[in-house]
Amino acid sequence: MLTRLKRPRGRAVALAFAIVASATMPAAPLHAAPPPVDRPTPDLRLTERDVAASNEKVKMAFADLAALWRGRFGELGGRFAVPRLLRYRGAARSACGVMQPSNAAYCPSENAIYYDEVFVAAQAKAAASELGSDGDMAGIGVIAHEMGHAVAIQLGYASPVAYDNESVADCLAGAFARHADENGSLEPGDVEEAFFGMAAAADPTPELTGNRRVDRRILARAAIMGHGTREQRMGNFRAGLSGGAGACVAEFE
């Protein structure tokens, strides 16, 4: 279930990014994608051409994301500071620490989205193999999620509960898919690809002990500390897809 974050009382509608970053966010990549869930996967045979094609689609989608959120902030009388988009392979140093392999993260300290280009391309190719489509939305969804963190933070949202932040980012990724549908750029199969990507990068099912008291604590902690189960992630994305950005963040209603 989506938990909508409350904007801190007394803040302006659109805070200056530098103020939000310095006042509320430690210099750590708190908004990183979870590692893919371990599962049997086909031999993807990822090529440099696959990575280049994925990067080109990410670049185009990022331009649409920037235009969408610039426009929505403008409607509120604010300004959206578009993050830089930085790709890497294996690992990369950032102001938020080392960006890990097979990951993507939003670094608020430098207003930048980092993504492992091989990881994102592999997400798309895995979706294509599984669904019989081009798979591109599985990779683009990763970037849309990280952009969702930038949107929420620049509006002044920062919950101490990790899942609250992640659920809103998934919802805003769904709102981007709704926007793409409205402007005619959402292709058949894109929603299924996005769901595939959400499920692939969901939190693993907690390992329970059989002790009811201990297991309650394990489940309670899992419910607030992660990105969410596959059902939660897909549900949060669906909320934005169905209701738009207003279903994620009160200011956009």
DSSP for the chain? ---PPPPPTT--SS--HHHHHHHH--SS--EEPPPPPP---------HHHHHHHHHHHHHHHHHHHHHHHHHHHHTT----PPEEEEESS-EEETTEEEPSS-EEEETTTTEEEEEHHHHHHHHHHHHHHHSS--HHHHHHHHHHHHHHHHHHHTT---SSHHHHHHHHHHHHHHHHHHHHHTT-PPTTHHHHHHHHHHHTSPPPPPP-S-HHHHHHHHHHHHHHSS--HHHHHHHHHHHHHH-GGGT-GGG-
pLDDT computed for residue 180 by the predictor = 96
- The pLDDT score that the predictor gives to residue 131 is 94
- What is the Cα–Cα distance from 92 to 87, expressed in whole angstroms? 9
pLDDT at residue 219 in the model: 66
Instruction: Give residue 203's pLDDT.
Output: 63
Please report the pLDDT score of residue 68 as a whole number. 97
What pLDDT is stored for residue 175 in this prediction?
A: 97
Q: Which two tokens stand for residue 144?
A: 């849309």
Q: Would you state the pLDDT for residue 16?
A: 34
Q: Is the pTM of this model over 0.85?
A: no
Residue-level pLDDT at 56: 97
Q: What is the mean pLDDT of each run of 10 residues along the chain (253 residues)?
A: 44 34 38 49 78 97 98 96 96 93 94 97 94 95 97 92 91 97 93 91 72 77 69 93 95 91
φ, ψ at 100 (rounded to 5°): -85, 160
